[in-house]
Amino acid sequence: MEQLVPLLVALPLGAAFLIVMIAHAGPLKRLTTPLAVLAVLVNLLIAGRLLWAGALHVYVGGWGQGQTLGIELVCDGLSKLMLIVINFVALASIIFATQYMRRFTKVWLFDALFLLMTGAMSAVVLAGDMFNLFVFLEVAAIASYALVAFGCESEELEAAFKYLILGTVGSAFILLGVTILYSLTGHLNMAKISEALRTIGPDSPGVLLGGAAIIAGLALKAAMVPFHAWLPDAHPSAPAPISAMLSGVLIKASGVYALARVVFGVLGVSPYYANILIAMGLLSMVLGMFLAIGQWDFKRLLAYSSISQVGYVVLALGVAAEAMSRAAPDRTVAALCLFGGLFHLFNHATFKSLLFLASGSIEQQAHTRLLKEMGGLSRRMPVTSFCCRIGALSISGVPPFNGFFSKLIIIIALVLSGHNVLAAVGIGVAVGTLLMYIKVQRYVLEGEPSDAVAAAREAPAGMCIALVLLTIVCICAGLALVPLRDLLFTPAGEALLGALP
Amino acid sequence: MSQPGMTIIVKNTTRIIAGFIALFGVYIALTGHLSPGGGFAGGVILAAAAVLVVLAFGSGFAGRIVNEPKCHIWDGTGAMGFLVVALCGYITGGFFVNFIPIGTAHHLLSGGMIPLANLAILLKVGAGLAGAFVALSAFKYGRPRSIRRVGREL
């Protein structure tokens, strides 16, 4: 079983390299897209198989547990949750891309970069040492810079350049933080850094500097306000399947997951980090919502809404850290916060990628991204519209869809931990989100069809399959709350809380 | 005198030394486990040979030797080779575990799988950097003519 873990990284990377090799080889080049779908599907199956294994520690290259050197891959509850999320969204996106990308040239390059990004994200969530985490954050980020620029229009190149510069600044901060922690402790392995930091003390200036640098870098990757400036340009500019991957999983794997892992697993919870997370989460929720409501570009609205929804997750993580950093740690409330936060992370991955894919279908048919120029699509594109509507209802927190349950759990956990004001803000932002998606439904799906959408037809079958796949998860995840909690979220929360003393 | 590229002096010099530069790159990679250097350094030197050819002869003519499809194929092959070396570790126990006898120290055939990994990195880095340069040399729009032809006017 342990031998399967490195394959999660090796398989997508290998498929990406193979695609580059066969791309110029005559008839073989038709195989690139099926190969990409197959690689992601097998990866999802491996990730699903690992769910029933315990926490696995794999020492790559035969280095043992006692040694300081060597790469460790950790596949615990949180990694498994993230692997399922990454590979599931990747599967839906690549199925969607088989049809959607036909109007682009060099689809093989898209497939290769897509697999590179998927493999790198899988490696990020498996990394057991800080340097490996940094390296794969960079691999995923570099693949995503290229993918944002894939259309090669001036707007896309500008967005990609902005993303490249800000992403590199973020990476530099992360590397600086890792270097500081390494110089203080002499370790790169997360568990060993954490052990060593306990003897140094979390309040020493060096540790705080290192922690601040890492958190700033990761917050930039997660597009938390005030580090969010790149996201509303980068995410809408990419092709729709990539927008779905970026908003659905990349900001979570390389931002939120890494933040959670570093704060809980390496730095150890302290009021400083908890308050920073709470403040960033709160700011992102509120500002992201207000910025999103004012947008008239469909994909830009979705991008701002990602900032707002990821704010919920970070807020829940922050409150969990705060509950654990009290004089008398409240483990029950922290576990509930983490459950809510991680469940919202899972849900946001499904409905935001669903909405981005739907926006891609709609853009392809309506030839516009502006809400005011659309209208009446519910009759012209019934399947896409139905899926889009389910996604919009889920993200706005309408029962019985999954977004309702995760927001409810987060708000209950906020009240239980004594943060009544935060809970009230959470409810307010949920109402704002509902408003913003009523606007989407009103302008995109309802009303009289405009001239632009007069010729709109239903999207091809492959694109609809991807949308339906995600819609089913949106509907079922809310109803299958309890089995999912036992299978995915409780082990994931335990993996974070178990790392604390 | 409308040939692309630089003067005949540069071309002849390149013709003589480019092969040696490439050979030196391969040498650096092959002895990477014995002396300073390795796959990356060797790959950079190998790519430098390709860059020299493109600079001296112009990207049009040099495209017969160094072009985008070739760079893609060798780049993919190098990366794949590295991955295959890593996956072969499963024969003896796990990912990236050595599967070749280690041999005597300071001999060329020693170091287990490290020479193989170095060769794969040589291909990957060499083709990757050469490909990046070829891609850059393809974009020459938006510059004044005088700057574009500066190599030949000298």
> Tell me, what's the pLDDT at A53?
86
Residue B3 lies in a domain: no
Q: Quick check: B95 and A58 CB within 8 A?
A: yes
pLDDT, one tens digit per residue, over A437-477 is 999 998 888 888 877 777 788 889 989 999 999 999 999 99
Residue B1 lies in a domain: no
For B:22-61, CB contacts with A below 8 A are none
ipTM value: 0.89
What is the pLDDT averaged over residues A205-214? Answer: 94
- Of chain B, the end-to-end C-alpha distance in Å amounts to 13
- Is the pLDDT score of A297 beyond 70? yes
> Tell me, what's the pLDDT at B146?
46
> Tell me, what's the pLDDT at B154?
41
Q: Quick check: B95 and A61 CB within 8 A?
A: yes
- Is the pLDDT score of A313 beyond 60? yes
Per-domain residue ranges of chain A: 292-501
| B87 closest CB neighbour out of A10, A59, A61 | A10
What DSSP letter does each residue of A159-195 carry, written as one string? HHHHHHHHHHHHHHHHHHHHHHHHHHHS--BHHHHHH
> Tell me, what's the pLDDT at A50?
92
What is the pLDDT averaged over residues A408-418? Answer: 95
Q: Which residues contact A21 (CB under 8 A, 6 or more apart)?
A: B72, B73, B76, B77, B80
3-state secondary structure of A56: strand
Residues of chain B predicted below pLDDT 70: 1-2, 139-154
- Helix, strand and coil in chain A, % to nearest 5: 80, 5, 20
pLDDT, one tens digit per residue, over B67-111 is 888 999 999 999 999 999 999 999 888 888 888 888 888 888 888
Better-scored residue on pLDDT, A311 or B154: A311
Residue B118 lies in a domain: yes
Residue B2 lies in a domain: no
Total number of residues shown for chain A: 501
Range from A196-205, A319-328, A463-472, B21-30 carrying the lowest mean pLDDT: A196-205
For residue A60, the chain B residue with the least C-alpha distance is B95
Residue B146 lies in a domain: yes
What is the pLDDT averaged over residues A227-249? Answer: 92
Q: Quick check: B80 and A17 CB within 8 A?
A: yes
Measured in angstroms, the CA of B2 and the nearest CA of chain A are apart by 32
> Tell me, what's the pLDDT at A28?
84
Q: Assign A292 a pLDDT band (cuts: 50, 70, 90).
A: very high
pLDDT, one tens digit per residue, over A368-410 is 888 888 888 888 889 999 999 999 999 999 988 999 999 999 9
Number of domains in chain B: 1
> Tell me, what's the pLDDT at A320?
95
d(CA A255, CA A375): 35
Which one, of A29, A35, A41, lies nearest residue A14 by Cα? A35
pLDDT, one tens digit per residue, over A163-175 is 999 999 999 999 9
> Tell me, what's the pLDDT at B152?
44
What share of chain A has pLDDT > 90, as a percent? 73
Residue B58 lies in a domain: yes
